[in-house]
Protein backbone atom coordinates (compact mmCIF):
# COMPACT_ATOMS: atom_id res chain seq x y z
CA UNK A 1 0.00 0.00 0.00
CA UNK A 2 2.81 2.41 0.88
CA UNK A 3 4.44 1.60 -2.44
CA UNK A 4 1.27 2.52 -4.32
CA UNK A 5 0.99 5.77 -2.41
CA UNK A 6 4.58 6.63 -3.25
CA UNK A 7 3.82 5.92 -6.89
CA UNK A 8 0.86 8.31 -6.65
CA UNK A 9 2.95 11.13 -5.17
CA UNK A 10 5.79 10.43 -7.59
CA UNK A 11 3.36 10.40 -10.50
CA UNK A 12 2.01 13.83 -9.64
CA UNK A 13 5.56 15.10 -9.17
CA UNK A 14 6.68 13.68 -12.49
CA UNK A 15 3.70 15.25 -14.27
CA UNK A 16 4.63 18.64 -12.84
CA UNK A 17 8.32 18.10 -13.53
CA UNK A 18 7.73 17.18 -17.16
CA UNK A 19 5.56 20.22 -17.65
CA UNK A 20 8.29 22.44 -16.23
CA UNK A 21 11.17 20.71 -18.00
CA UNK A 22 9.49 21.13 -21.39
CA UNK A 23 8.30 24.61 -20.43
CA UNK A 24 4.89 23.37 -21.53
CA UNK A 25 2.81 24.64 -18.67
CA UNK A 26 3.14 28.36 -19.48
CA UNK A 27 1.66 27.53 -22.87
CA UNK A 28 -1.70 26.73 -21.25
CA UNK A 29 -1.82 29.88 -19.15
CA UNK A 30 -3.99 32.87 -20.02
CA UNK A 31 -1.48 35.51 -18.87
CA UNK A 32 -2.62 39.11 -19.22
CA UNK A 33 0.86 40.57 -18.67
CA UNK A 34 1.52 40.84 -22.39
CA UNK A 35 -0.75 39.98 -25.32
CA UNK A 36 2.26 39.16 -27.49
CA UNK A 37 3.50 36.52 -25.07
CA UNK A 38 0.05 35.01 -24.69
CA UNK A 39 -0.46 34.77 -28.46
CA UNK A 40 3.02 33.29 -28.99
CA UNK A 41 2.55 30.67 -26.30
CA UNK A 42 -0.91 29.55 -27.35
CA UNK A 43 0.29 29.49 -30.97
CA UNK A 44 2.51 26.53 -30.14
CA UNK A 45 -0.59 24.34 -29.81
CA UNK A 46 -2.89 26.04 -32.30
CA UNK A 47 -0.39 25.85 -35.16
CA UNK A 48 -1.02 23.02 -37.66
CA UNK A 49 2.46 21.69 -36.93
CA UNK A 50 4.92 22.30 -34.11
CA UNK A 51 8.51 21.10 -33.78
CA UNK A 52 10.50 21.33 -30.56
CA UNK A 53 14.25 20.63 -30.58
CA UNK A 54 15.59 20.15 -27.04
CA UNK A 55 19.31 20.29 -26.22
CA UNK A 56 21.21 20.56 -22.93
CA UNK A 57 24.01 22.84 -21.74
CA UNK A 58 26.33 22.72 -18.71
CA UNK A 59 25.10 19.36 -17.45
CA UNK A 60 27.12 18.20 -14.42
CA UNK A 61 29.69 15.40 -14.30
CA UNK A 62 29.66 12.67 -16.90
CA UNK A 63 26.33 13.93 -18.22
CA UNK A 64 28.19 16.90 -19.72
CA UNK A 65 29.08 14.61 -22.65
CA UNK A 66 25.50 15.16 -23.81
CA UNK A 67 25.88 18.96 -23.93
CA UNK A 68 24.87 20.16 -27.36
CA UNK A 69 25.63 16.83 -29.04
CA UNK A 70 22.36 15.09 -28.15
CA UNK A 71 18.93 16.47 -28.94
CA UNK A 72 15.34 15.34 -28.65
CA UNK A 73 13.11 16.39 -31.53
CA UNK A 74 9.34 16.37 -30.96
CA UNK A 75 7.04 17.02 -33.92
CA UNK A 76 3.25 17.16 -33.61
CA UNK A 77 0.61 17.55 -36.28
CA UNK A 78 -2.98 18.58 -35.66
CA UNK A 79 -5.21 16.07 -37.43
CA UNK A 80 -8.36 17.34 -39.21
CA UNK A 81 -11.41 17.46 -36.95
CA UNK A 82 -13.22 15.02 -39.25
CA UNK A 83 -10.36 12.55 -39.27
CA UNK A 84 -11.28 8.94 -38.58
CA UNK A 85 -7.77 8.20 -37.36
CA UNK A 86 -7.46 6.58 -33.94
CA UNK A 87 -4.51 8.86 -33.16
CA UNK A 88 -5.96 12.38 -33.29
CA UNK A 89 -2.63 14.19 -32.96
CA UNK A 90 0.13 12.40 -34.90
CA UNK A 91 3.46 12.71 -33.09
CA UNK A 92 7.05 11.82 -33.87
CA UNK A 93 9.85 11.79 -31.29
CA UNK A 94 13.46 11.43 -32.41
CA UNK A 95 16.71 11.23 -30.46
CA UNK A 96 19.69 12.60 -32.37
CA UNK A 97 23.43 12.57 -31.70
CA UNK A 98 25.15 15.22 -33.80
CA UNK A 99 24.16 14.20 -37.35
CA UNK A 100 23.00 10.68 -36.43
CA UNK A 101 19.37 9.76 -35.82
CA UNK A 102 19.61 7.24 -32.98
CA UNK A 103 15.94 6.38 -32.73
CA UNK A 104 12.40 7.39 -33.61
CA UNK A 105 8.92 6.82 -32.24
CA UNK A 106 5.98 7.62 -34.50
CA UNK A 107 2.26 7.60 -33.68
CA UNK A 108 0.15 8.16 -36.78
CA UNK A 109 -3.07 6.85 -38.26
CA UNK A 110 -4.09 3.70 -36.41
CA UNK A 111 -0.59 2.46 -35.60
CA UNK A 112 2.56 3.03 -33.58
CA UNK A 113 6.02 2.71 -35.16
CA UNK A 114 9.59 2.74 -33.89
CA UNK A 115 13.14 2.28 -35.12
CA UNK A 116 16.47 2.17 -33.25
CA UNK A 117 19.99 2.65 -34.62
CA UNK A 118 21.50 -0.17 -32.58
CA UNK A 119 24.86 0.02 -34.36
CA UNK A 120 25.54 3.68 -33.56
CA UNK A 121 24.20 3.35 -30.02
CA UNK A 122 26.45 0.33 -29.40
CA UNK A 123 29.43 2.32 -30.68
CA UNK A 124 29.32 4.44 -27.52
CA UNK A 125 30.51 1.35 -25.58
CA UNK A 126 33.27 0.39 -27.98
CA UNK A 127 33.94 -0.94 -31.50
CA UNK A 128 33.17 -4.56 -30.66
CA UNK A 129 29.90 -3.99 -28.83
CA UNK A 130 27.64 -4.15 -31.90
CA UNK A 131 29.08 -7.51 -32.93
CA UNK A 132 28.36 -8.92 -29.48
CA UNK A 133 24.80 -7.57 -29.53
CA UNK A 134 24.24 -8.86 -33.07
CA UNK A 135 25.32 -12.35 -32.05
CA UNK A 136 22.90 -12.43 -29.12
CA UNK A 137 19.97 -10.94 -31.05
CA UNK A 138 20.46 -13.22 -34.05
CA UNK A 139 20.43 -16.25 -31.76
CA UNK A 140 17.08 -15.18 -30.32
CA UNK A 141 15.70 -14.13 -33.73
CA UNK A 142 16.32 -17.65 -35.03
CA UNK A 143 13.57 -18.92 -32.73
CA UNK A 144 10.08 -19.38 -34.23
CA UNK A 145 8.13 -16.15 -34.60
CA UNK A 146 10.97 -13.82 -33.52
CA UNK A 147 12.54 -13.04 -36.89
CA UNK A 148 11.42 -9.42 -36.67
CA UNK A 149 14.11 -8.86 -34.02
CA UNK A 150 16.56 -8.72 -36.91
CA UNK A 151 14.63 -5.77 -38.33
CA UNK A 152 15.10 -3.98 -35.01
CA UNK A 153 18.79 -4.85 -35.01
CA UNK A 154 19.20 -3.44 -38.54
CA UNK A 155 17.47 -0.19 -37.66
CA UNK A 156 14.36 -0.85 -39.76
CA UNK A 157 10.92 0.48 -38.90
CA UNK A 158 8.74 -1.85 -36.83
CA UNK A 159 5.08 -1.12 -36.20
CA UNK A 160 2.05 -2.32 -34.28
CA UNK A 161 -1.58 -1.56 -35.12
CA UNK A 162 -4.07 -0.50 -32.47
CA UNK A 163 -6.14 -3.72 -32.77
CA UNK A 164 -2.97 -5.74 -32.20
CA UNK A 165 -1.97 -3.41 -29.37
CA UNK A 166 -5.35 -3.95 -27.66
CA UNK A 167 -4.86 -7.70 -28.02
CA UNK A 168 -1.49 -7.20 -26.31
CA UNK A 169 -3.20 -5.43 -23.40
CA UNK A 170 -5.64 -8.30 -23.04
CA UNK A 171 -2.83 -10.82 -23.03
CA UNK A 172 -0.98 -8.81 -20.37
CA UNK A 173 -4.07 -8.90 -18.19
CA UNK A 174 -4.49 -12.64 -18.61
CA UNK A 175 -0.81 -13.29 -17.92
CA UNK A 176 -0.92 -11.08 -14.83
CA UNK A 177 -4.01 -12.83 -13.47
CA UNK A 178 -2.42 -16.23 -13.95
CA UNK A 179 0.60 -15.00 -11.97
CA UNK A 180 -1.51 -13.44 -9.23
CA UNK A 181 -0.47 -9.90 -10.13
CA UNK A 182 -2.66 -6.81 -9.96
CA UNK A 183 -0.60 -3.97 -11.46
CA UNK A 184 -0.23 -5.59 -14.87
CA UNK A 185 -3.89 -6.54 -14.77
CA UNK A 186 -4.80 -2.88 -14.36
CA UNK A 187 -2.55 -2.02 -17.29
CA UNK A 188 -4.29 -4.64 -19.38
CA UNK A 189 -7.65 -2.94 -18.75
CA UNK A 190 -6.58 0.47 -20.04
CA UNK A 191 -8.56 0.05 -23.24
CA UNK A 192 -11.79 -0.06 -21.19
CA UNK A 193 -10.80 3.02 -19.14
CA UNK A 194 -10.40 5.53 -21.96
CA UNK A 195 -13.15 7.78 -20.67
CA UNK A 196 -11.72 7.88 -17.15
CA UNK A 197 -8.22 8.56 -18.45
CA UNK A 198 -9.53 11.38 -20.61
CA UNK A 199 -11.25 12.80 -17.54
CA UNK A 200 -7.97 12.59 -15.62
CA UNK A 201 -6.14 14.36 -18.46
CA UNK A 202 -8.70 17.16 -18.31
CA UNK A 203 -8.26 17.38 -14.52
CA UNK A 204 -4.48 17.62 -14.90
CA UNK A 205 -4.75 20.36 -17.52
CA UNK A 206 -7.27 22.31 -15.46
CA UNK A 207 -5.16 22.03 -12.30
CA UNK A 208 -2.01 23.17 -14.09
CA UNK A 209 -3.81 26.10 -15.69
CA UNK A 210 -5.28 27.33 -12.43
CA UNK A 211 -2.05 26.87 -10.48
CA UNK A 212 0.04 28.55 -13.15
CA UNK A 213 -2.31 31.52 -13.25
CA UNK A 214 -1.78 31.89 -9.52
CA UNK A 215 1.99 31.47 -9.27
CA UNK A 216 3.62 32.19 -12.66
CA UNK A 217 5.14 35.65 -13.21
CA UNK A 218 6.30 37.00 -16.60
CA UNK A 219 8.55 40.02 -17.13
CA UNK A 220 9.72 41.62 -20.35
CA UNK A 221 13.53 41.97 -20.37
CA UNK A 222 14.17 43.03 -23.98
CA UNK A 223 12.25 43.81 -27.15
CA UNK A 224 11.80 40.12 -27.94
CA UNK A 225 12.79 38.41 -24.66
CA UNK A 226 10.73 37.54 -21.59
CA UNK A 227 11.63 36.06 -18.22
CA UNK A 228 9.40 33.53 -16.41
CA UNK A 229 9.57 32.63 -12.73
CA UNK A 230 7.64 29.96 -10.84
CA UNK A 231 8.04 29.25 -7.07
CA UNK A 232 8.08 25.45 -6.95
CA UNK A 233 6.82 24.53 -3.48
CA UNK A 234 3.56 26.54 -3.59
CA UNK A 235 3.01 25.60 -7.23
CA UNK A 236 3.46 21.84 -6.65
CA UNK A 237 1.40 22.06 -3.45
CA UNK A 238 -1.42 23.71 -5.37
CA UNK A 239 -1.34 21.09 -8.13
CA UNK A 240 -1.21 18.19 -5.66
CA UNK A 241 -4.18 19.57 -3.72
CA UNK A 242 -6.23 19.81 -6.90
CA UNK A 243 -5.17 16.44 -8.33
CA UNK A 244 -5.16 14.20 -5.25
CA UNK A 245 -8.87 13.36 -5.35
CA UNK A 246 -9.27 12.70 -9.11
CA UNK A 247 -6.01 10.73 -9.36
CA UNK A 248 -6.95 8.50 -6.42
CA UNK A 249 -10.43 8.02 -7.86
CA UNK A 250 -9.03 6.81 -11.18
CA UNK A 251 -6.51 4.50 -9.48
CA UNK A 252 -9.11 3.26 -6.96
CA UNK A 253 -6.69 3.90 -4.12
CA UNK A 254 -7.42 5.14 -0.57
CA UNK A 255 -6.62 8.74 0.32
CA UNK A 256 -2.94 9.46 0.78
CA UNK A 257 -2.43 10.77 4.34
CA UNK A 258 -1.92 14.53 4.41
CA UNK A 259 1.18 14.05 6.59
CA UNK A 260 2.78 11.96 3.84
CA UNK A 261 2.00 14.61 1.21
CA UNK A 262 3.29 17.39 3.47
CA UNK A 263 6.52 15.48 4.09
CA UNK A 264 7.11 15.18 0.34
CA UNK A 265 6.39 18.86 -0.26
CA UNK A 266 8.73 19.88 2.57
CA UNK A 267 11.59 18.24 0.66
CA UNK A 268 11.27 21.04 -1.91
CA UNK A 269 13.38 23.99 -0.66
CA UNK A 270 11.11 26.84 0.40
CA UNK A 271 12.82 29.44 -1.77
CA UNK A 272 13.36 27.25 -4.84
CA UNK A 273 11.93 28.63 -8.09
CA UNK A 274 11.96 27.51 -11.70
CA UNK A 275 13.25 30.08 -14.17
CA UNK A 276 12.97 30.27 -17.93
CA UNK A 277 13.57 32.78 -20.71
CA UNK A 278 11.64 32.83 -23.94
CA UNK A 279 12.02 34.70 -27.22
CA UNK A 280 9.22 35.86 -29.52
CA UNK A 281 9.93 36.55 -33.19
CA UNK A 282 7.28 38.05 -35.49
CA UNK A 283 4.60 37.11 -33.00
CA UNK A 284 5.70 33.46 -32.73
CA UNK A 285 7.61 31.71 -29.97
CA UNK A 286 11.05 30.85 -31.38
CA UNK A 287 13.22 29.76 -28.45
CA UNK A 288 12.98 28.79 -24.77
CA UNK A 289 15.74 28.48 -22.18
CA UNK A 290 14.76 26.45 -19.11
CA UNK A 291 17.17 26.62 -16.16
CA UNK A 292 17.72 23.54 -13.99
CA UNK A 293 17.28 24.65 -10.35
CA UNK A 294 20.41 24.83 -8.17
CA UNK A 295 22.77 24.15 -11.10
CA UNK A 296 24.29 26.07 -14.00
CA UNK A 297 22.62 23.68 -16.45
CA UNK A 298 19.76 24.55 -18.74
CA UNK A 299 17.66 23.16 -21.58
CA UNK A 300 17.42 25.01 -24.87
CA UNK A 301 14.17 24.43 -26.79
CA UNK A 302 13.98 25.68 -30.36
CA UNK A 303 10.39 26.10 -31.57
CA UNK A 304 9.31 26.09 -35.22
CA UNK A 305 6.26 25.36 -37.32
CA UNK A 306 7.46 23.51 -40.42
CA UNK A 307 5.11 22.67 -43.28
CA UNK A 308 5.41 18.90 -43.04
CA UNK A 309 3.22 15.83 -42.76
CA UNK A 310 3.70 12.76 -40.62
CA UNK A 311 3.10 9.64 -42.68
CA UNK A 312 3.29 5.95 -41.86
CA UNK A 313 6.58 4.38 -43.05
CA UNK A 314 5.72 2.28 -46.10
CA UNK A 315 8.43 -0.30 -45.42
CA UNK A 316 7.65 -0.97 -41.76
CA UNK A 317 7.52 -4.53 -40.47
CA UNK A 318 4.12 -4.81 -38.77
CA UNK A 319 3.96 -7.06 -35.73
CA UNK A 320 1.15 -9.60 -35.63
CA UNK A 321 -0.59 -11.34 -32.76
CA UNK A 322 1.54 -14.41 -33.49
CA UNK A 323 4.69 -12.30 -33.19
CA UNK A 324 3.61 -11.05 -29.79
CA UNK A 325 2.61 -14.51 -28.63
CA UNK A 326 6.07 -15.77 -29.56
CA UNK A 327 7.67 -12.86 -27.70
CA UNK A 328 5.68 -13.48 -24.52
CA UNK A 329 6.33 -17.20 -24.69
CA UNK A 330 10.05 -16.42 -24.83
CA UNK A 331 9.85 -13.84 -22.03
CA UNK A 332 7.46 -15.78 -19.76
CA UNK A 333 10.21 -17.29 -17.56
CA UNK A 334 11.73 -13.83 -16.97
CA UNK A 335 8.30 -12.33 -16.21
CA UNK A 336 7.55 -15.03 -13.68
CA UNK A 337 10.95 -14.56 -12.04
CA UNK A 338 10.36 -10.80 -11.85
CA UNK A 339 6.93 -11.20 -10.28
CA UNK A 340 8.26 -13.74 -7.79
CA UNK A 341 11.13 -11.41 -6.82
CA UNK A 342 8.73 -8.47 -6.38
CA UNK A 343 6.45 -10.54 -4.17
CA UNK A 344 9.30 -11.77 -1.96
Please report how the helices 2-21 and 232-251 are oriented relative to each other, as an axis angle in degrees rounded to 10.
Answer: 130
> What's the pLDDT at 17?
39
Mean pLDDT of all residues in 320-341: 66
CB 321 within 8 A of CB 167: yes
* Residue 290 CB neighbours (<10 A): 21
Separation between Cα atoms, residue 58 and residue 300, nearest integer Å: 11
CB 229 within 8 A of CB 217: yes
How confident is residue 258, by pLDDT bands cut at 50, 70 and 90?
confident
How confident is residue 135, by pLDDT bands cut at 50, 70 and 90?
very high
Least confident of 32-41, 54-63, 79-88: 32-41
- Considering 28-37, 210-219, 241-250, the range whose residues carry the highest mean pLDDT is 210-219
How confident is residue 80, by pLDDT bands cut at 50, 70 and 90?
confident
Sheet containing 317-318, strands listed edge to edge, beginning at the edge strand earlier in sequence:
217-220, 225-231, 273-281, 284-291, 298-304, 49-57, 70-77, 91-97, 100-108, 111-116, 158-161, 317-318
Q: What is the pTM of this model?
A: 0.72
Nearest by Cα to 152 from 112, 126, 113: 113
> What's the pLDDT at 115?
97
Nearest by Cα to 253 from 183, 194, 199: 183
Separation between Cα atoms, residue 261 and residue 241, nearest integer Å: 9
- Note the pLDDT tens digit of each residue in 146-185: 899 999 999 999 999 988 878 777 766 766 666 555 444 4
* Residue 146 CB neighbours (<10 A): 16
> What's the pLDDT at 315?
92
How confident is residue 264, by pLDDT bands cut at 50, 70 and 90?
confident
- Note the pLDDT tens digit of each residue in 7-56: 333 333 333 333 333 333 333 333 344 577 777 877 887 888 999 999 99
- Identify which has the larger pLDDT, 330 or 135: 135
* Residue 262 CB neighbours (<10 A): 11
* Residue 60 CB neighbours (<10 A): 10
Give the number of residues written for the chain.
344
Sheet strands (E) in the chain: 49-57, 70-77, 91-97, 100-108, 111-116, 158-161, 217-220, 225-231, 273-281, 284-291, 298-304, 317-318
Amino acid sequence: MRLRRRFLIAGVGIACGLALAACGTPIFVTVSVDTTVHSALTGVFTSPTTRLVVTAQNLPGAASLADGSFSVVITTLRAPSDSSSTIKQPTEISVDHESTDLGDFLAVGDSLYFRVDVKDIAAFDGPGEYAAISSEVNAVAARPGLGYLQDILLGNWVGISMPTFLALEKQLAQESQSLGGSSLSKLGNLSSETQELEQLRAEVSSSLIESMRTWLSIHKTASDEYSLKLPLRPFVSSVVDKLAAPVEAILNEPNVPQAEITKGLDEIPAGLSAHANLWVSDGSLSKIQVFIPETSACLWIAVSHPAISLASPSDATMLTSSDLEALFADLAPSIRSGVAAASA
